Amino acid sequence: MAQTHPNISENRPVIRQLDDAAINRIAAGEVVERPASAVKELVENAIDAGSTRIAIDVADGGKTLIRVTDDGCGISAQDLPLALSRHATSKIDGSDLLNIHTFGFRGEALPSLGAVGRLTITSRVPGTEAASVYVAGGKVEAVKPAALRSGTMVELRDLFFATPARLKFMRTDRAESQAITDTVKRLAMAEPAITFTLRDVSGGGEGRVTFRADRENGDLFDALHARLARVIGREFAENALQIDATREGIRLYGYAALPTYSRGAAVAQYLFVNGRPVRDKMLTGALRAAYFDFLSRDRHPAAALFIDCEPTLVDVNVHPAKSEVRFRDPGLARGLIVSALRHALAEAGHRASSTVANATLGAMRPEPAQPAPARVYQMDRPSAAARQVAYQAQAPGFAELSHNYSGSVVEPVPEPIESAPVEDLPLGAARGQVHENYIIAQTADGMVIVDQHAAHERLVYEKLKTQMAETGVAAQALLIPEIVELSEGDCARLMAVADELSRLGLTLEPFGGGAIAVRETPAILGEVDARAMILDILDELADQGESQTVQARIEAILSRVACHGSVRSGRRMRAEEMNALLREMEATPHSGQCNHGRPTYVELKLSDIERLFGRS
């Protein structure tokens, strides 16, 4: 007995043309994924209309009501029915799909929304009377007179009522409201000259304002800086570097945060192409690569970057939601981001992160404690050990304290005649060392606390990178090669990058089985523990994964090498050594953070210190 295929019927399938309502509902599945997608399309239309004020009202996470009101150019009464037709738009004439200067151009948003919800458009063109049109489930009613002072008001009720299955995929009201807020914030970043107001009107009434960004004044960067401070937060604005670079017709501008202001996830990365918010893997990869030397794997940079170029250099017609773009020369855009960010980070010099100082001050402030018995204000009798330390602290030669306490700079290095005071330098003059790890320096308007190990680790790392870029890292041959026993797999992994390691001054040779012979080590490090270094390099290689480039692995190994050659914690430093370290930090790019993105020093202003003691 012949077996029939379950997907093949005896009757021949018939090809039929779908009606407009079905076509619009299918299109809505691509354009309108959730209420936030509808808000995005409507707000972008308002921006394209030349609006200066845009108000967004939502109820129940946008499921029951989305209302967008603007003061733009408006839509004439005779054009209202046409605006609800598929692929009807005023943005382009269809002759050149690569020369697009507006957010919208596909002519799908309004008919798609009208196909899955109850849509009312009320608009007024200056010099004419206002009119409105209503569409529900794809059925358009006649245009009617309406009352409206200016601009356009689009009201969308009962989203997805015509496609009930889509409602089952909606998240909670709170989650959908958060998605709408994120969408409005991204659009507000790109348009600092427009006032945005987002209001939650769930339950009726005037509701409450959940986000507001008033129009910013000033030039491009002043307005953008103020808008980012309002949207992302003042901490980001205080710790952000201005970016402005141009290459072959592509301009990159915006703000990128210092490495010491990083996040635990990629939640503060905002990228725009010709003002359009995009989520592009190539661009986010370039952002990550620019910070590769400054952040550990579990930290992510924060940035708001804008790419402006001729529309013919980028294709925005890749996806109906227009959230993806495709550059004609992606390597050019990626290279511009990496080089511009690295140049800005190098020029930042010794600009300290305000969040680090604030955290330090917060740690100094006493925490609320449980109520304690009333204290008798009488000096307690100190122990013998405490008295001995106190006597030593009061005696001449403060640097003679026991190992666990401090050393001070009794005789600072003489300054050249007619030179500026050392305190006027960015990192000031060393005044002491605490717990053999932290250098205390005095500046003209405060103090600096330096982590000597982290700082020197960065200095060694930068030296290794400079040597590698110029002449390769100088190597010194070992009189007796050191033999390191490894597994055959580890040995093979290490020998696979032997050529790259030799550029760093580390020469390895197979020694039979799983053993390797270390014949040369980087001369800049002096005497090193070769076995410990090899094991650390193996760990770093295993950490990188197959997707990392050879250069990334080399720089990761450089970081490990630098860690082994830096000043260790617990070493007591002389006055001239501490001051020399401070001067070398001032002369070395990126020395404000270690190889893992942690700060190498904390700066406290005198005014902050005085507030701690109630002197302000």
Query: Three-state SS for 186?
Result: helix
The region of weakest confidence among 308-317, 395-404, 502-511, 578-587 is 395-404
What pLDDT is attached to residue 225?
95
Q: Is residue 317 part of a domain?
A: yes
What's residue 21's pLDDT?
Answer: 62
* Residues 224 and 207 placed together within one structural domain of the fold: no
In a domain, 360, yes or no: no
Q: Radius of gyration over alpha carbons of the chain, in Å?
A: 32
Same structural domain, 75 and 149: yes
Q: Are 154 and 67 in contact, with CB atoms under 8 Å apart?
A: yes
Q: Are residues 472 and 435 in the same domain?
A: yes
Residue showing tokens 């959940």: 210
For the cut 50, the answer to whether the pLDDT of residue 458 exceeds it is yes
Whether the per-residue pLDDT at 542 is higher than 90: the answer is no
Tell me what the mean pLDDT of segment 380-384 comes to. Answer: 45
Confidence check: pLDDT of 396 > 60: no
Q: What pLDDT is attached to residue 472? A: 66
Domain CATH number, residue 94: 3.30.565.10
Q: What is the number of domains present in the chain?
A: 3
CB neighbours (10 Å) of residue 550?
Answer: 11
Domain of residue 93, residue span? 20-211
pLDDT band at 379 (very low <50, low <70, confident <90, very high): very low
Q: What does pLDDT average to over the chain?
A: 77
pLDDT score of 224 = 95
Please tell me whether residues 512 and 438 are part of one structural domain.
yes
**Does residue 40 sit within a domain?**
yes
Whether pLDDT at 435 is above 50? yes
Please tell me whether residues 133 and 36 are part of one structural domain: yes
Q: Which of 29-33, 158-162, 373-377, 611-615 has the highest mean pLDDT?
A: 158-162
pLDDT for residue 388:
47
354 lies in some domain: no
Domain boundary among 313, 347, 381: 347
513 or 27, greater pLDDT: 513
DSSP codes, 354-384 = HHHHHHHHHHHSPPP----PPPP-SPPPPPH
Is 545 a member of any domain? yes
132 & 274 share domain: no
Residues 207 and 224 in one domain: no
* Per-residue confidence (pLDDT) for residue 455, from 0 to 100: 81
Same domain (yes/no): 335, 407: no
DSSP string, 442-461: EETTEEEEEEHHHHHHHHHH
Asked if residue 224 and residue 205 are part of one domain, the reply reads no
State which of 211, 241, 275 marks the end of a domain.
211
This prediction's pTM:
0.66
**Are residue 434 and residue 321 in the same domain, yes or no?**
no
Residue 384 lies in a domain: no
- 95 domain-assigned: yes
CA 69 – CA 113 distance, rounded (Å) = 16
Question: Tell me, what CATH number does 250's domain have?
Answer: 3.30.230.10
Residue 35 has which token pair?
A: 């209420």
- State whether 340 and 405 are in the same domain: no
pLDDT at 166 over 50: yes
Quick check: 333 and 325 in contact, CB under 8 A? no
Alpha-carbon gap, residue 471 to 332, rounded angstroms: 28
Question: 471 and 427 in one domain?
Answer: yes
**Amino acid residing at 18:** L
pLDDT at 93: 46
Task: Indicate the residue among 314, 347, 380 that finishes a domain.
Answer: 347
CATH number at residue 537: 3.30.1370.100
- Residue 352 counted as domain residue: no
pLDDT for position 65:
94
Pure H helices in 49-172: 80-83, 109-116, 164-167
